[in-house]
Amino acid sequence: MTGTALSPKDAAQKSQQARAIRECLDRYIPECQPVALLQFPLDFNVGNHMMWVAAMDYLKQRNAPIAYTAHGHNLDLQQMIRAVGDGTILFSGGVTVSRLWPRHAEVKRIVAEACPNNRLVSLPSTMLFADDEDRREASTIFGNHRNAVLLARDPVSAESARNVFPGNVHVETVHDSALLLPPQPRHAAPDHDVIWLARDDMEGVGSLAPSDVEVFDWTHDDPAAMRILFPGRFFSRVRKLAPTLRSIANRQIAGSYDRFARYVLASGNRRLDTGKVLVTDRMHPHILCALRSQHSVLLPDRFGKNRAVYEYTGRNYSTVHWADTHEEALEIARTVVRSTPV
């Protein structure tokens, strides 16, 4: 069984958004020039890997070789500087400039200080700040760097970033990079009418999902996936210990990360196959559902990220619905189940 193709209206919407993302990235990422791609998501959050796969595909189409890549714990500044030369340094998207996820902000800070002459591009992200102290700390991340670009994935984030960062940091609004992915397939008939993906981290508002639906979050452990990362771990050591093999090691690491990210994305698709309609308070699953022509109901998160992205990106898709409360979400989902074939 395969999923239903996007409706003409949804396909046109997706095409327009993807074109806008590519045009934006093209302005900052030179064709055929090397890049460093940082902050590989060493986790099982499907949304993080949607962004990573989209970035990898874009860079391949752009003929921009990935000279260096790393996650937050195996970054070696001197190796990166030697590998990328005067090329562009990219940071993967997400929530990446506040103390909510502090390692992302820390990496940007140390790279900005060490690489004053490289262009720095933070791929489409949400700008969330916990309080005024967080805003003050974030404002210093890029220091006086004169070629730092923050891509905000909604206008609310863009306004927030412009209010926080000094004028030397350029802020531009563009849709989340996951919209660069092609339409995603459904491979199996659903087991449930409604499935409910409820996040259990600091961005969630607490799981109040009803007891009579299938409730889950993205997995936190997958031994098979971790085996895919073995070459990446091995060649990270090679890169550090054998300077003459660094170019080969960088290619092997990038390949290992790419395979891992695609595996996690495929696992997310399989999980969504189990339901006709998804209810979630995570942001990326509603984008993944839109790419699958699968109905989803998006709920608020703790910081307003979901609503901002819904208004800018998701609301015009025929399969995307918004609910302010869990009760409303369940009602919408059950109405969709009754009226819509898989």
Q: Is 218 helix (H, G, I), strand (E, B) or coil?
A: coil
Least confident residue range of 53-57, 92-96, 180-184, 254-258: 92-96
Say what the pTM is: 0.95
In this prediction, residue 342 carries a pLDDT of: 61
In this prediction, residue 240 carries a pLDDT of: 87
Pairwise CA distance, residues 125 & 109, whole Å = 16
- The mean of the pLDDT values for the chain is 93
Looking at residue 7, the DSSP 8-state letter turns out to be P
Would you say 261 and 53 are in contact if contact means Cβ atoms under 8 Å apart?
yes
Amino acid residing at 109:
R
In this prediction, residue 141 carries a pLDDT of: 95
Question: Which domains does the chain possess?
Answer: 8-180 (3.40.50)
In this prediction, residue 3 carries a pLDDT of: 53
- H or E stretch including 133? helix 132-138
Sign of the dihedral defined by the CA atoms of residues 304, 126, 62, 259, in that order: negative
Pairwise CA distance, residues 222 & 31, whole Å = 36
In this prediction, residue 207 carries a pLDDT of: 59
Query: Residue 281: pLDDT above 50?
Result: yes
Residues 6 or more apart in contact with residue 27 via CB below 8 angstroms = none
Percent of the chain residues past pLDDT 90, beyond the cut: 82
In this prediction, residue 203 carries a pLDDT of: 76
Q: C-alpha distances in angstroms, 330 versus 199, 201, 296, 300? A: 17, 22, 11, 14
* pLDDT bracket for residue 4 (50, 70, 90): low
Would you say 124 and 151 are in contact if contact means Cβ atoms under 8 Å apart?
yes
Among residues 30, 36, 33, the alpha carbon closest in space to that of 250 is found at: 36
In this prediction, residue 1 carries a pLDDT of: 38
Looking at residue 144, the DSSP 8-state letter turns out to be T
DSSP string, 47-77: HHHHHHHHHHHHHHHTT--EEEEEETTS--H
In this prediction, residue 323 carries a pLDDT of: 97
Pairwise CA distance, residues 257 & 52, whole Å = 9
DSSP string, 246-280: HHHHHHHHHHHHHHHHHHHHHHHHHHHTTEEEEEE
As a whole number, mean pLDDT of residues 220-248 equals: 90
* pLDDT bracket for residue 2 (50, 70, 90): very low
As a whole number, mean pLDDT of residues 97-109 equals: 88
Pairwise CA distance, residues 169 & 114, whole Å = 16
Would you say 8 and 2 are in contact if contact means Cβ atoms under 8 Å apart?
no
In this prediction, residue 37 carries a pLDDT of: 98
In this prediction, residue 130 carries a pLDDT of: 84
Residues 6 or more apart in contact with residue 125 via CB below 8 angstroms = 93, 94, 95, 96, 97, 150, 151, 152, 153, 157
In this prediction, residue 100 carries a pLDDT of: 79
In this prediction, residue 94 carries a pLDDT of: 84
Higher pLDDT among residues 209 and 110, named by residue: 110
Kindly report the number of other CB atoms within 10 A of residue 260's CB atom: 24
In this prediction, residue 211 carries a pLDDT of: 77
How buried is residue 136: exposed, middle or buried, by Cβ count under 10 Å (0-12/13-18/19+)? Answer: exposed
pLDDT digits (tens, 9 = 90+) for 142-189: 999 999 999 999 999 999 999 999 999 999 999 999 999 999 999 999
Bridge pairing between strands 66-71 and 35-40: parallel
As a whole number, mean pLDDT of residues 25-37 equals: 98
In this prediction, residue 337 carries a pLDDT of: 95
| Helix axes 77-84 and 102-114, enclosed angle (nearest 10) | 60
As a whole number, mean pLDDT of residues 31-35 equals: 97
Dihedral of the CA atoms 81, 83, 88, 91 (nearest 10)?
-80
